[in-house]
Structure 1
Amino acid sequence: MDAYLAAIAIVALIYILLALGLTLQYGLTGLINFGHVGFFAIGAYAAAILATHGAPLVLGFVAAAFFAGLAAWPIGLVSLRLRDDYFAIVTLGFSETVRLVITSEKWLTNGVQGIPAIPRLFSGLTVGIGAQLAVLAVLLAVTGAAVLAMRRIVRSPFGRIIEAIRDNEDGLRALGKEPARFKVQVLILGAGLAGLAGAFYAHYITYIVPDQFIPLVTFYVWMAIIIGGVGRISGAVVGTALLMILLEGSRFIRDVVPGISEVEMASIRLGVIGILLVLFTIYRPQGLMGDFSRK
């Protein structure tokens, strides 16, 4: 049971990193990113490829954040020319393009067979709860540092400018500020966090395939920030924690309602989560922690 709870906590912290990146992009800046999983995949594969070729693990984590951020740079340039709804479609297409490239470039990614035997973090420890707790401690430290950095960003002049982009971009231009470079920087920072989350995911799961990086991952992250409260750092944390409770708790529906097959259970879980999300948006549209409009 302890190992199961530690595993849930590790996955939850990985998703919190993803939610913080999306909060920076959408919650604080207003950039609708439906391709967040693409940066997650780039980070995971960058770390996995380097690690399986003997590179130090630290280098893999740095490369994961770097390449994910680098991939966001042209996407950021695209955002300067498109309305929000078109930009959302472009980012969704980007994530699917990343997945197709991963699938087709077998010489680099091993295609649909994926990359196995990715080194675990703290592999010197006995595989089990000891190693899991060590990974959990590192993820707690990294997530805590990311939260503190986000809070500093929000309270800084940079944070006030990106919030102005979200609230009234034309008004910001009238004050003589050009939003373009700030949008690009925000996309790079958010993608870097997603890439870092991908590196942790790859080293924790130790086996990655393209089908792990489908658009559903992005929409789980969107659900988390909507549940927690859009534009709230605390909302990203609380919303992700509640989403993980819903996802894992729904696994036990089969124990309560007998006669449900595994395939049926998967559909029922998604249905239950969808209904809860609809009810949540109806009765608590500002999220658990309140959204940016209710400060």
Structure 2
Amino acid sequence: MPTGLLLPVAHLQNVTVTYTDFTINPDTYACFPSEAVPHPAVQVALLLLAFTLGFMGNFSVLVLVGCPQFQRASLGIYLLNLAANDLLSALCMVLRAIDASSGWTLGDVGCRVLSMLSDQALYTGVLLLGGLCMHSLRRANSHLLCTLAWVFGFFIALPAVLFSRVSHLSGHILTCQQHKGRALELPLSLLKNLVGFAIPPLLFILSSLPYVCFRSNDWKNKWEKSLILSLTLAFTIFRSPYHISAFASTLMSGNIIEVNCHLLFSTERAIGVTQMLSNCHCFVNPILYCLLWNKIREFLC
């Protein structure tokens, strides 16, 4: 054995190490996960509140507009389908409340179903609003357009079944989320969030054109266009901020933009807050129906 590799014990006791020339590089250590924003208890309370208000409001609209005594026109067909779509979003709130309270307990299949239903509610809602904008510009077959909105929304949401799975959040707690690590998942996630924050403002501008250019004294059409304008504006205000934050998170996941811990934590907090705002949208439309849809007011009175 070579003796040159051995040091006497006395020498080891006198060895000192100084770190005066050592500097920490923030790019070389991992970011530790931050606390959930909002707090899980607040998330559960808001989700259950959104479900209760959304279910009661949209179910009431379905019963009211669906009864034989209610005179339905083309606008009523669109709003009936919007209420059904918002009711679907409200039902998803219950499953998300379970995920936020104690972790995901419904297995991998339940996670995939939840993700697909959430995406379908987004895409179908955007397509139905597009049909409403077409209705404000030119009358079309409302039954056909609503059916196409549900069919296309279903097929566009199918990739969520492939890319959603249960993963470990911390310790033994599981969560349901869509992953963006594979090659095909990144562009699909970018497309979803682009649809969520870019198309609603365009629909709002499109729906505002006939309202701004409207010069007739027909108050019936004015109320109709005011309702369509308000629905597109509400969708933009409540839905777009979340998808802007999720779009930025997707860009960071794909290393398209430079990532640091501060930017990562800020994006996570923005997603948490704006997702709660997006969840509240499911009970906003029934309020607008009662305020601006004159047929509902006349029927109730």
Using structure 1 for the length normalisation, give the TM-score: 0.32
Q: Which has the higher strand share?
A: 2
Choose 1 or 2 for highest CA Rg. Answer: 2
